[in-house]
Amino acid sequence: MARIVMKFGGTSVADLDRIKNVARHVKREVDAGHEVAVVVSAMSGKTNELVGWVQGMPKVVGANSPFYDAREYDAVVASGEQVTSGLLAIALQAMDINARSWQGWQIPIRTDNAHGAARILEIDGADIVKRMGEGQVAVIAGFQGLGPDNRIATLGRGGSDTSAVAIAAAVKADRCDIYTDVDGVYTTDPRIVPQARRLKKIAFEEMLEMASLGAKVLQVRSVELAMVFKVRTFVRSSFEDPDAPGMGDFLNPPGTLICDEEEIVEQEVVTGIAYAKDEAQISLRRLADRPGVSAAIFGPLAESHINVDMIVQNISEDGSKTDMTFTVPSGDVEKAIKVLGENKEKIGYDVVQNESGLVKVSVIGIGMRSHAGVAATAFKALADKGINIKAITTSEIKISILIDGPYAELAVRTLHSCYGLDKN
Ligand code: ADP
Ligand code: ASP
Ligand code: MG
pLDDT in tens, 311-343: 998 877 777 889 999 999 999 999 999 999 999
Ligand 1 binding pocket mutation candidate from 180, 185, 237 (most atoms within 8 A of CB): 180
Answer yes or no: is the C-beta of 41 below 6 A from any ligand 2 atom. yes
Contacts from 29-32 at CB under 8 Å and sequence distance 24+? 29/4, 29/248, 30/97, 30/137, 32/248, 32/250
Average pLDDT value for residue range 58-83: 82
| Residue 353 pLDDT greater than 80, yes or no | yes
The pTM assigned to this predicted structure is 0.94
Residues 157/41, Cβ–Cβ less than 8 Å: no
Q: How confident is the model at residue 67 (pLDDT cuts 50, 70, 90)?
A: low
Average pLDDT value for residue range 69-94: 97
Give the span between the Cα atoms of 402 and 361, in whole angstroms. Answer: 6
By residue count, the chain amounts to 424
What is the residue-wise DSSP string for 375-386?
HHHHHHHHHHTT
Average pLDDT value for residue range 354-374: 94
Closest ligand by atom to 416 CA: 1
Closest residue by Cα to atom 12, ligand 1, is: 217
Answer yes or no: is the C-beta of 217 below 6 A from any ligand 1 atom. yes
Q: How confident is the model at residue 61 (pLDDT cuts 50, 70, 90)?
A: low
Cα-to-centroid distance, 42 and ligand 1 (Å): 16
Q: How confident is the model at residue 1 (pLDDT cuts 50, 70, 90)?
A: confident
Can you give the pLDDT at residue 65?
A: 53
| Residue 391 pLDDT greater than 90, yes or no | yes
Average pLDDT value for residue range 171-192: 97
Q: How confident is the model at residue 191 (pLDDT cuts 50, 70, 90)?
A: very high
Cα-to-centroid distance, 158 and ligand 3 (Å): 4
Ligand 2 binding pocket mutation candidate from 18, 47, 73, 216 (most atoms within 8 A of CB): 47
Cα-to-centroid distance, 249 and ligand 3 (Å): 24
Give the span between the Cα atoms of 196 and 141, in whole angstroms. Answer: 32
Can you give the pLDDT at residue 103?
A: 98
Residue range(s) of every CATH 3.40.1160.10 domain in the chain: 3-261
Average pLDDT value for residue range 87-112: 98
Answer yes or no: is the C-beta of 8 below 6 A from any ligand 1 atom. no
Q: At 50, phi and psi to the nearest 5?
A: -65, -40
Give the span between the Cα atoms of 403 and 327, in whole angstroms. Answer: 12
The rounded mean pLDDT for the chain is 94
Closest ligand by atom to 83 CA: 2
Cα-to-centroid distance, 46 and ligand 2 (Å): 9
Residue range(s) of every CATH 3.30.2130.10 domain in the chain: 272-418
Can you identify the CATH homologous superfamily of domain 272-418?
A: VC0802-like (3.30.2130.10)
| Residue 382 pLDDT greater than 70, yes or no | yes
Residue 249: C-alpha distances to residues 28, 253, 263, 363 (Å) = 11, 5, 19, 33
Can you give the pLDDT at residue 68?
A: 80
Average pLDDT value for residue range 118-129: 96
- Closest to 347 (Cα-Cα) out of 334, 336, 358: 336
Q: At 384, phi and psi to the nearest 5?
A: -60, -30
Residues 238/38, Cβ–Cβ less than 8 Å: no
Quick one: which atom of ligand 1 is closest to the CA of 160? 4
Average pLDDT value for residue range 156-177: 98
pLDDT in tens, 367-381: 999 998 999 999 999
Average pLDDT value for residue range 177-199: 97
Per CATH, the number for 3-261 is 3.40.1160.10
Can you give the pLDDT at residue 86?
A: 98
Which residues does 340 contact at the CB level (< 8 Å), separation at least 6? 282, 284, 297, 300, 301, 347, 349, 352
Closest residue by Cα to atom 4, ligand 1, is: 9
- Closest to 119 (Cα-Cα) out of 163, 177, 82, 54: 163
Cα-to-centroid distance, 190 and ligand 1 (Å): 8
Sheet order of strands, 272-288 included: 311-313, 321-329, 272-288, 351-364, 398-404, 391-395
Answer yes or no: is the C-beta of 216 below 6 A from any ligand 1 atom. yes
Can you give the pLDDT at residue 107?
A: 96
Cα-to-centroid distance, 211 and ligand 1 (Å): 10
Q: How confident is the model at residue 265 (pLDDT cuts 50, 70, 90)?
A: confident
- Closest to 107 (Cα-Cα) out of 140, 130, 78, 83: 140
Average pLDDT value for residue range 274-294: 93
- Closest to 158 (Cα-Cα) out of 283, 44, 28, 260: 44
H or E element that contains 354: strand 351-364
Can you give the pLDDT at residue 62?
A: 57
Closest ligand by atom to 188 CA: 1
Residues 11/181, Cβ–Cβ less than 8 Å: yes
Average pLDDT value for residue range 197-217: 96
Can you give the pLDDT at residue 101?
A: 98
Closest ligand by atom to 215 CA: 1
Can you give the pLDDT at residue 123?
A: 97
Cα-to-centroid distance, 276 and ligand 1 (Å): 13
Residue 168: C-alpha distances to residues 28, 148, 323, 342 (Å) = 19, 22, 48, 46
Cα-to-centroid distance, 338 and ligand 3 (Å): 32
- Closest to 64 (Cα-Cα) out of 166, 5, 147: 147
Cα-to-centroid distance, 43 and ligand 2 (Å): 9
Closest ligand by atom to 39 CA: 2
Can you give the pLDDT at residue 242?
A: 97
Answer yes or no: is the C-beta of 9 below 6 A from any ligand 1 atom. yes
Answer yes or no: is the C-beta of 159 below 6 A from any ligand 2 atom. yes
Quick one: which atom of ligand 1 is closest to the CA of 179? 3
Quick one: which atom of ligand 1 is closest to the CA of 238? 3
Closest ligand by atom to 155 CA: 2
Among 17-31, 46-60, 371-385, the minimum mean pLDDT is found in: 46-60
Cα-to-centroid distance, 215 and ligand 1 (Å): 7
Average pLDDT value for residue range 99-121: 97
